[in-house]
């Protein structure tokens, strides 16, 4: 293991062994596939199977449901370590654990847990469908409608920018059952890919995390049994807010993973690159830039770890999650940009890994709450004190 762990929050022996296992897997199985997946904008299905076999798709799920029975912090470790190699696979694992599975564990009825958690741990990719064309940061301006039809609800409308859309077999979908009630009409539904009236639409062609599928979802008289309501009717806004608070820590973990990958690549490169008869790592200007990268990475990691530990301890973590996501996403973009600077012309080519780290880092300031929304959350909570 590299020495970046030494100054961090203490890891238990179990957590340390888990991290090392993930790193070995990421280096051996994910890294050889990264460039091909990025170029083709496709996730390797065999790799997804391996993620399940490794137990990485149900880190927090109880063992009785086929999961690993681990902590939220361990799920974040997995997201971080995979992000160090590939941001696309990292976000697939993140959405599976910190959003989808987490929501099932917290809000699912016993019947829903028994039906879906084993599948999510062993074979089914999950997705979280909140965003629409007119509801991004204004997440509750939903136009997807759910009409009560006795023993079922019928959904009509669209969702956009849904991560894991292509691979997912089950979706947590937010729709409004009564628009006159505003956000109090929003309800969370569990929709299977095979449900009548449900279609996965176009896949977006993106700047970064290209192998991660980001898709449109189409609902045309989609029939959902009432037993597939997650939580309570009209309480979907609570499900969404509380799940996203946790998910933001996961995105923070993805960002520090990406930044770590860029930092390690840069450290190796500057030691080997010579100009004017000596390694560029011997120049003070280069050393200062490297140090700035390391400081920002260390600060971001500690903020993310702190938020994850708070979540696991049952303490309030909403502000800390917003701080962690805001800072880590900004730091990742800056670190990856500086990496390209230090690589020079080589950094601007696809022959070296830093241009991809840079492209992958940008999304961190956008999804699961933009940087401006994180600042708004931080300010709101500070002003309440």
Runs of H (alpha helix) within 189-317:
236-272, 284-313
Sign of CA dihedral 124, 163, 48, 266: negative
368 is catalytic: yes
Residue 15: count of CB within 10 angstroms of its CB:
16
Catalytic option among 63, 333, 368, 382: 368
**Cα gap 294→316, rounded to integer Å:** 29
Contact 43, 167 (CB under 8 A): yes
Q: Would you give the DSSP letter of residue 70?
A: -
**Cα gap 33→35, rounded to integer Å:** 6
**Cα gap 167→161, rounded to integer Å:** 14
User: Which two three-digit tokens encode residue 217?
Assistant: 């979802």
**Cα gap 334→316, rounded to integer Å:** 29
Classify each residue of 286-308 as buried b or exposed e, where b means 16 or more C-beta atoms within 10 Å of its C-beta.
Answer: beebbeebeebbeebbbbbbbbb
Q: Is 209 left (phi over 0), alpha (psi -120 to 50) or beta?
A: left
- What are the Cα distances from residue 101, in Å, to 57, 94, 108, 190, 247? 9, 10, 10, 12, 11
What is the set of active-site residues?
Answer: 368
């Amino acid at each position: 293991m590299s020495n970046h762990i030494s100054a961090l929050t203490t890891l238990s022996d179990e957590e340390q062994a888990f991290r090392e296992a993930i790193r070995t897997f990421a280096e051996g199985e994910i890294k050889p596939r990264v460039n091909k997946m990025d170029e083709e904008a496709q996730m390797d299905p065999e790799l997804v199977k391996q993620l399940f076999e490794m137990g990485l798709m149900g880190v927090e799920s109880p063992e009785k449901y086929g999961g690993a029975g681990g902590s939220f912090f361990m799920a974040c470790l997995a997201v971080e370590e995979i992000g160090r190699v590939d941001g696309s696979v990292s976000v697939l694992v993140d959405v599976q654990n910190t959003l989808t599975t987490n929501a099932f564990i917290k809000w699912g009825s016993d019947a829903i847990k028994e039906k879906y958690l084993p599948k999510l741990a062993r074979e089914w990719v999950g997705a979280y469908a909140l965003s629409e064309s007119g509801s991004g940061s204004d997440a509750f301006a939903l136009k997807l409608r759910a009409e009560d039809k006795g023993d079922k609800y019928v959904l009509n409308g669209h969702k956009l920018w849904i991560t894991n859309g292509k691979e997912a077999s089950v979706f947590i979908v937010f729709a409004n059952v009564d628009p006159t009630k505003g956000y109090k009409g929003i309800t969370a539904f569990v929709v299977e890919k095979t449900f009548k009236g449900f279609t996965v639409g176009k896949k977006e062609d993106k700047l970064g995390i290209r192998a991660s599928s980001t898709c449109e979802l189409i609902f045309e008289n989609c029939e959902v049994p009432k037993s597939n309501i997650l939580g309570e009717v009209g309480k979907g806004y609570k499900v969404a807010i509380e799940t996203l608070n946790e998910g933001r820590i996961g995105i923070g973990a993805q960002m520090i993973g990406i930044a770590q990958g860029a930092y390690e690549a840069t450290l190796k490169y500057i030691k080997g690159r010579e100009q004017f008869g000596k390694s560029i790592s011997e120049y003070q200007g280069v050393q200062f830039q490297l140090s700035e990268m390391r400081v920002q990475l260390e600060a971001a990691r500690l903020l993310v770890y702190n938020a994850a530990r708070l979540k696991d301890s049952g303490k309030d973590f909403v502000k800390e999650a917003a701080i962690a996501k805001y800072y880590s996403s900004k730091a990742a973009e800056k670190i990856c940009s500086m990496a390209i600077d230090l690589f020079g012309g080589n950094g601007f080519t696809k022959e070296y890994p830093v241009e991809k780290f840079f492209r992958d880092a940008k999304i961190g300031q956008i999804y699961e709450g933009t940087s401006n929304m994180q600042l708004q959350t931080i300010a709101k909570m500070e002003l309440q004190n």
